[in-house]
Chains A and B, each alone.
Chain A
Amino acid sequence: EAGVVQSPRYKIIEKKQPVAFWCNPISGHNTLYWYLQNLGQGPELLIRYENEEAVDDSQLPKDRFSAERLKGVDSTLKIQPAELGDSAVYLCASSKDGLMTGELFFGEGSRLTVL
């Protein structure tokens, strides 16, 4: 079974430029999460989707961040414009039975460097 797939793995941009990250969850997983991981820290939740609905985006900085999950499968996270402080790893995770065990499966992440 394929795991959570993210792209790109690495992205270097200049500040004020836009950037987008893509995530394909494990097949059959209805719940999708975007997490932010700063260097030396644990992941922090940005947004959670149940199918195509964003059910928790309270931690998403909405002035510059946006996300979508069309058709309840793939998801895209966008930053526009990027700031220096956005340099981090953006992790996508999915779960099948979030209400049962809550176990999340993570992708390898997209590492963003803003210059």
Chain B
Amino acid sequence: ELKVEQNPLFLSMQEGKNYTIYCNYSTTSDRLYWYRQDPGKSLESLFVLLSNGAVKQEGRLMASLDTKARLSTLHITAAVHDLSATYFCAVDGPGGGADGLTFGKGTHLIIQP
């Protein structure tokens, strides 16, 4: 059974600080996805990482994938309040992308002024 674990599950940080969210998964997968969810809203796709060593950056967020370690990181640089949200990582099912995604429990991020 594929398991996806995120840590931390809750994070409160100050604006201007840097931090990293970690995502570990239990079985071999070459593809990992990061989503953002605002309260009461749906999931918004942030990054699609399709191979080992993939790194993608958008604004203050940078995601990377190490398939050998089964680890992805989401790094936040100089955090701003607008980045407060819940961040989910997700991994392909055993049959690849068409099986749907298995999600972690999410990291609830609060960025305080």
Choose among A41, A42, A91, A98 the residue that contacts B98 (Cβ–Cβ < 8 A).
A98
Cα A35 to Cα B42 in complex, Å, equals 12
Main secondary structure of the interface of A (DSSP, over half): loop
- Residues of B in contact with A, size category: 20 to 34
Q: Is the CB of A103 within 8 A of B33?
A: yes
A31 CB contacts on chain B under 8 angstroms: 98
- Whether A42 contacts B48 in the complex (CB less than 8 A), given A100-B97, A102-B98, comes out as no
A101 touching B97, Cβ below 8 Å? yes
Interface string of B77-113 (1 = CB under 8 A from A): 0000000000010101100111111111110100000
Interface residues of A (CB under 8 A from B): 4, 31, 33, 35, 40-45, 48, 50, 56, 91, 93, 95, 97-109
List 30 A-B residue pairs with CB atoms under 8 Å apart, sorted by A's residue number.
A4-B42, A33-B100, A35-B100, A40-B108, A42-B90, A42-B103, A42-B104, A45-B100, A45-B101, A45-B102, A48-B98, A56-B100, A91-B42, A95-B97, A98-B96, A99-B97, A99-B98, A102-B92, A102-B97, A103-B33, A103-B48, A103-B97, A104-B33, A104-B45, A104-B101, A105-B45, A106-B42, A107-B42, A108-B41, A109-B42
